[in-house]
Structure 1
Amino acid sequence: MAQPDKTQPDKTMNAPAPESTRKFDPGRAAEYQTQSRIALAGYDACHELSACMLAATLGAGRAARLLIVGAGGGAQEIVCAGALEPGWRFTAVDPSQPMLDLALARLREHGLLERTDVHLGYVEDLPPDGRFDAATLIGVLHHLPGDAAKRDILDAVAARLKPGAPLILAGNRHAYASQPLLLAAWGERWRMHGASADEVQAKLGKILQGADPPRSEAEVADLLDEAGFDTPNWFFSSLFWGACLARKRH
């Protein structure tokens, strides 16, 4: 049987893109590598530790299939995990073509394209067959407006995981307005990297209007519980960003 051409993503998305997807346009994709590392202090450390947490949970040196939801951009989840564990294979899903194009370029650069099936679309487009040994959902949840959308994606991920499989969930986990000091420090980080006072204010306004994070770590735990995951184990924090591992209940 002929192998699929992994230089191009499978085009499984058939519904109109929501606003949470449309904002990841070519302009945002082009600046993603730089901007993400300013917005999240410890961006690389978060991804490296995520790979380490998965290896510690699954067992080092074992073959595994990983579902990477929201893989567009730098595909950093796959870059880190693929370097650590040569026996892991990946299914990368993202609804933004520009962001997925950037991920494809990085996977090709790191020699990981042959170990990765790439899908343009949503996790719901994949069969709910419980075939994955682990999953990551990094930098996605706070872009989904409302609790219903957050529950839906966590349910969709859970349906594709084996019992006991770990999920790495990372993203902003505080209502921004409830953490004025953290938000101010986030603005200062941009200033540290050369943003003017007006640019800082514009970025603060954009994040307040353009994302809807869970309101607390307790709310994250509740969302995970409703989707069938155990209590999360938090292992990384950077201002209002946090990363945790939770296992799907048997």
Structure 2
Amino acid sequence: MASFCDPDIVSGYAARTEQLVPGLRHLHKMTGLLLAERAPADARVLVLGAGGGMELKALAELQPEWRFDGIDPSAEMLQLAETNLGSLASRVTFQEGYIDKAPEGPFDAATCLLTLHFLPRGERLQTLRGIQRRLKPGAPFVAAHHSFPTQGAEPDKWLTRFAAFASLSGVLAFQSENNIRTMKERLPVLSPEEDEALLREAGFSNVELFYAGLTFKGWVGYK
């Protein structure tokens, strides 16, 4: 959390994230497409981890009648989201905090992008259950985050590939072995199989993988 209160990190968040996440803009478009399969034209959408506003802006541009509740624990990141959204911010209600601070809904759809990999398994399950409980029956949920094999030499292999992609995108700091080691130590990453099982344990059905970009995976599921 501390890093997302650092003014330098906050100001460069959007550009840096686009360099690190393969196909980020297309991920946002696919998210909008999957939500719109079931969400109505005037949907109310819960966006957990909304700081920065990147997915909020993409979804608001795709669906002009949708309204959003954007939740994030960083006040600085929420301010960045409001700034980046411009006039679209009038369709978003911002709330600082975690899932327990989110309105009860019920919501027509929900997203949690590039967030859950920060949470240990127990907290992740509680967060997913909090999202699921706030959805209408049959409502879609999209999650995407770091998820890769966690046994043996697999983490090193996949994190090296992630670092190489970042370097090709111009993020030179990710070339160092120290950064790879820091990610291994600080991110409680689950394997894709564990992530899917956790979504089902939280109450989501028909869970499907729709996105895979090196270390990042994305799923859609339904209440």
* TM superposition score normalised by structure 1: 0.82
Partner of 2:12: 31
Match of 1:4 in 2: none
Q: Equivalents in 2 of 1:44, 1:199: separation in Å?
A: 24
Spell out, residue by residue over 1:133-166, the C-alpha distance to the aligned partner (whole angstroms, 9 max, x if none): 000011111001x211011100111111111111
Q: Distance in 1 between matches of 2:183 and 2:106?
A: 36
> In the aligned structure 2, how far is the partner of 1:28 from the partner of 1:175?
28
The one of 53, 70, 76 equivalent to 1:92 is: 70
2:149 and 2:32 map into 1 onto residues whose CA distance is: 27
2:222 pairs with 1:243 = no
Aligned position for 2:108: 133
Aligned to 2:176: 200
After superposition, the CA RMSD in angstroms is 1.9
Task: Check 1:198–1:94 CA distance in 2 against 1; reply closer, same or farther (3 A cut).
Answer: closer
- Cα separation, 1, equivalents of 2:123 and 2:174: 33
Gaps of 5+ in 2: none
Q: Return the alpha-carbon distance in structure 2 between the equivalents of residues 149 and 170 of structure 1.
A: 16
Residue deviations 1:19-57 (CA, integer Å, cap 9, x gap): xx2232223212211211121111111111111111123
Moved segments of 4+, more than 6 Å = none
Post-superposition shift, 1:179?
3.8
Alpha-carbon contact 1:143-1:212 (below 8 Å) kept: yes
CA contact (8 A) 1:71 1:103 kept: yes
Larger Rg: 1
Shift, 1:198, TM fit: 8.0
SS in 1 for 2:189: coil
Residues 195-235 of structure 1 deviation map (CA, whole Å, 9 limit, x = unaligned) = 55885323323322221122x22211211111110031211
Residue identity opposite 2:43 in structure 1: A
User: Is the 8 Å Cα contact of residues 148 and 158 (structure 2) preserved in structure 1?
Assistant: no
Distance change (3 Å), C-alpha of 1:102 and 1:162: same
| CA-CA distance at 1:186 after TM superposition | 1.4
Equivalent position of 2:36 in the other structure: 55
Distance 1:71 1:226 in 2: 24
What fraction of aligned residue pairs are identical, expressed as a percent?
A: 30
Structure 2 length-normalised TM: 0.91
Alignment of 1:205-224 (within 5 A): 205-214=181-190, 216-224=191-199
> Residue in 1 aligned with 2:91?
115
Distance 1:76-1:92 versus aligned 2 partners, 3 A rule: same
Contact conserved, 1:66 with 1:89, CA < 8 A, in 2?
Answer: yes
Instruction: Report the CA distance between 1:104 and its aligned residue.
Output: 1.0
- Residues 212 and 198 of structure 1: CA distance in aligned 2, closer, same or farther (over 3 Å): closer
User: Which stretches in structure 1 are left out of the alignment for 5+ residues?
Assistant: 1-20
